[in-house]
């Protein structure tokens, strides 16, 4: 999410939004890690501890579509809509609907929680500091490096969740099952597109360097252009 034009009111709002999102995802990450440390592989109570939190925090991302529509940020509406849609399908179309251990107490759910929360904590903290004019070489590097692991991890978890929900969706309505299956089939090309896009962005922002310090001086304008 990038600042499109200088407007103190809009800038203040975006700082507040990104900071609040960071707090929300930090809470999800903390609750997830705490549960796993306490209960290990017993995932029966994981959803009760963090499930509704991740649903509500992720639903807040609907505002990012509004930000694009109103021109608050440079991001195009379609990519933002695509990303928000896929996640809302997971949290409302599977996790919320199906109170089944195969869905709510699965390793796919764990992968989603860890991949999403780590990604978003880095992303929103990076956005917040950038809007405040504060440069963080570490966050910049993590923002354009962690995706190598977190994107495949998150996508794998999402596909596993939808796959686990298929029998229960079919019991509700066959068309619902077909809809989820269509989304599963669509995941690999979407992952490829996003993955290669991030690789290109990493080369543009970090210049192919492995050390973030060399990239900071030349990335202020790039950060404002497209976060």
The catalytic residue positions are 151, 158
In which element (H, E) is residue 14 found? Answer: helix 8-39
- Other CB atoms within a 10 A radius of the CB of residue 162 amount to 22
Q: Is 221 helix (H, G, I), strand (E, B) or coil?
A: helix
| Apex 82 CA angle, 154 and 163, nearest 5 | 45
CA torsion angle 89 93 94 97 (round to 10): 160
**147 CA to centre of own chain:** 11
> Residue 82: which residues within 8 A CB-CB, separation 6 or more?
190
Residue 55 has which token pair? Answer: 């649903």
- Other CB atoms within a 10 A radius of the CB of residue 135 amount to 16
Please report, for residues 11, 76, 143, 210, the alpha-carbon distance to residue 116 in angstroms, rounded to integers and kept in the order given: 25, 21, 13, 24
Pairwise CA distance, residues 167 & 206, whole Å:
45
């Amino acid at each position: 999410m990038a600042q499109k034009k200088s407007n103190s009111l809009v800038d203040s709002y975006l700082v507040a939004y990104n900071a609040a999102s960071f707090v929300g995802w930090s809470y999800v990450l903390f609750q997830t890690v705490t549960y796993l440390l306490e209960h290990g592989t017993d995932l029966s109570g994981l959803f009760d501890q963090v499930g509704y939190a991740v649903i509500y925090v992720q639903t807040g991302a609907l505002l990012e579509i509004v930000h694009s529509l109103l021109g608050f940020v440079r991001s195009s509406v379609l990519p933002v809509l695509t990303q928000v849609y896929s996640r809302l399908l997971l949290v409302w179309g599977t996790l919320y609907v199906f109170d089944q251990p195969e869905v709510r107490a699965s390793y796919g759910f764990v992968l989603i929680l860890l991949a999403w929360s780590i990604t978003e904590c880095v992303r929103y903290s990076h956005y917040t500091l950038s809007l405040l004019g504060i440069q963080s070489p570490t966050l910049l590097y993590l923002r354009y490096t962690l995706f190598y692991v977190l994107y495949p991890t998150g996508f794998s978890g999402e596909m596993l969740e939808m796959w686990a929900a298929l029998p229960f969706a079919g019991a509700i309505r066959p068309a619902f099952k077909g809809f989820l299956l269509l989304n599963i089939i669509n995941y690999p090309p979407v992952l490829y597109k996003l993955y290669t896009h991030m690789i290109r962005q990493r080369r543009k922002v970090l210049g192919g360097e492995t050390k973030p310090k060399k990239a900071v001086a030349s990335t202020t304008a790039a950060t404002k252009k497209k976060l």
